[in-house]
A = this chain, B = another copy of it.
Amino acid sequence: MTASRVTIGDVARHAEVSTSAVSKVLRNAYGVSPAMRTRVLAAIKELGYRPHGAARALRGHTSTLGVLLPDLRNPFFPDLIDGIAEELGDTCYQVVISQAGRDPAGESRAVHALIDQSVGGVVLVAPLSPPADLEVIAKAVPVVVLGRDDRSPHYDAVFGDEEVGAGLVVEHLAGLGHRRIAHLADAAWHGSGRGEPATPPDPRAHAYERAMARLGLGAYADIVRTSYTEEGGRAGVGELLRRPEPPTAVFAGADLVAIGALGALREAGLDVPGDVSVAGYDNSWLAGLAHISLTSVDQPGLTMGRTAARLLLERIGGRTASARISITPTLVTRRTTAAAPPPGHNPDAANFNVTEI
A residues near B (Cβ < 8 Å) are: 1-3, 5, 50-55, 57-58, 64, 66, 71-73, 75, 77-78, 81, 85, 94-99, 110, 112-118, 139-141, 230, 259, 262-263, 266-267, 285, 289-292, 320, 335, 355-357
Contacts and interface: CB of A to CB of B under 8 A. Distances in A.
Contacts of A110: 94
B96 A98 contact: yes
A270 to B, nearest CB: 12
Contact of A54 (B58, B72, B141): B58
Label chain A's interface by main secondary structure: mixed
A5 B58 CA distance: 12
Nearest to A59: B54
Given A81-B72, A335-B357, A113 B267 contact: no
A116 B50 contact: yes
A279 B71 CA distance: 27
A-B interface, 9 closest residue pairs, ranked by CB to CB distance from nearest? A54-B57, A53-B116, A263-B290, A72-B78, A97-B97, A94-B113, A54-B54, A96-B96, A54-B118
B112 A2 contact: no
A52 B112 CA distance: 11
6 contacts: A2-B141, A3-B140, A72-B81, A96-B97, A96-B98, A230-B289
Nearest to A81: B72
A53 B117 CA distance: 5
